[in-house]
Structure 1
Amino acid sequence: MSRTPVPPVLRAYLDELVHRTRAVCGPHLVSVLAVGSLALGDYRHGRSDVDVTVVVDGALPRETPPRLARALAHPALDCPAAGLELVVYPAGFAARPSGAAGYLMDLNTGPLLPERVSHDAGEAPAFWYVLDRSVAHQTGLSLFGRPVRDVIAAPRRADVLTALRASVREHAEGGGHTADNRVLNGCRSVVYCRTGRWFAKRGAAGFVAASEAGFRPLLTEALRSFERPRQDALPLPAGAVGEFLAWVAGRVDEAVEAEDGPGTPRR
Structure 2
Amino acid sequence: MTRMSRHSEGPQPLPDHVRPYLRELVGRTRRICGADLVSVLAVGSLALGDYRPGRSDVDVTVVVEPSVSGAVLRGLAETLAHPRLPCPAAGLELVVYDRDFAGRASGRAGYLLDLNTGPLLTGRASFDPVPSPAFWYVIDRSVAHQAGRALFGRAAGEVIAPPAAADLLTAVRASVREHGEGEGHLADNRVLNGCRSVLFCRTGRWTAKRAAGRAIAATEPGFRPVVEAALAGFERPRAEAVDLPAAEVGNFLAWVRGRVDEAARAVGR
**Separation in 2, partners of 1:28, 1:117:** 20
- 1:181 equivalenced with 2:181 (yes/no): no
**Separation in 2, partners of 1:5, 1:212:** 32
Select the residue among 241, 253, 256 that pairs with 2:249: 241
How big is the shift at 1:2? 6.4
4+ runs of 1 displaced by more than 3 Å?
none
Identity between Structure 1 and Structure 2 (%): 65
How big is the shift at 1:12? 0.5
Give 1:166's aligned residue. Answer: 174
**Separation in 2, partners of 1:150, 1:168:** 29
Q: Deviations over 1:7-38 (max 9, x none)?
A: 11101000000000000000000000000000
- 1:108 equivalenced with 2:108 (yes/no): no
Give 2:129's aligned residue. Answer: 121
- 1:28 equivalenced with 2:44 (yes/no): no
Name the SS of the counterpart of 1:248 in structure 2: helix
Name the SS of the counterpart of 1:123 in structure 2: coil
Name the SS of the counterpart of 2:18 in structure 1: helix
Select the residue among 63, 66, 69 that pairs with 2:71: 63
How big is the shift at 1:126? 0.2
AA aligned opposite 2:59: D
- 1:81 equivalenced with 2:107 (yes/no): no
Q: Deviations over 1:42-100 (max 9, x none)?
A: 00000000000000001111211111000000000000000000000000000001100
Select the residue among 219, 223, 227 that pairs with 2:231: 223
Which consecutive unaligned segments of at least 5 residues does structure 2 have? 1-7
Note if contact 1:2-1:139 (Cα within 8 Å) is conserved in structure 2: no
Note if contact 1:179-1:235 (Cα within 8 Å) is conserved in structure 2: yes
Name the SS of the counterpart of 2:170 in structure 1: helix
AA aligned opposite 1:102: G
How big is the shift at 1:110? 0.3
Give 2:152's aligned residue. Answer: 144
Note if contact 1:42-1:200 (Cα within 8 Å) is conserved in structure 2: yes
Give 1:18's aligned residue. Answer: 26
How big is the shift at 1:123? 2.1
Name the SS of the counterpart of 2:151 in structure 1: strand
Q: Deviations over 1:164-193 (max 9, x none)?
A: 110011001111110000000000000000
Give 1:205's aligned residue. Answer: 213
TM-score by length of 2: 0.96
**Separation in 1, partners of 2:70, 2:88:** 29
AA aligned opposite 1:248: V
**Separation in 2, partners of 1:245, 1:204:** 14
- 1:39 equivalenced with 2:47 (yes/no): yes
How big is the shift at 1:109? 0.3
Give 1:50's aligned residue. Answer: 58
Note if contact 1:2-1:40 (Cα within 8 Å) is conserved in structure 2: no
**Separation in 2, partners of 1:163, 1:61:** 29
Give 1:97's aligned residue. Answer: 105
Name the SS of the counterpart of 2:17 in structure 1: helix
CA RMSD, Structure 1 to Structure 2 (Å): 0.9
**Separation in 1, partners of 2:64, 2:56:** 26
Q: Deviations over 1:213-265 (max 9, x none)?
A: 0111101110111000001011100000010110000000000111112xxxx
Which consecutive unaligned segments of at least 5 residues does structure 1 have? 262-267
Select the residue among 219, 222, 226 that pairs with 1:214: 222
How big is the shift at 1:116? 0.8
**Separation in 1, partners of 2:34, 2:249:** 47
Give 2:5's aligned residue. Answer: none
Q: How many equivalent pairs are there?
A: 261
How big is the shift at 1:156? 1.1
Note if contact 1:2-1:140 (Cα within 8 Å) is conserved in structure 2: no
**Separation in 1, partners of 2:171, 2:9:** 23
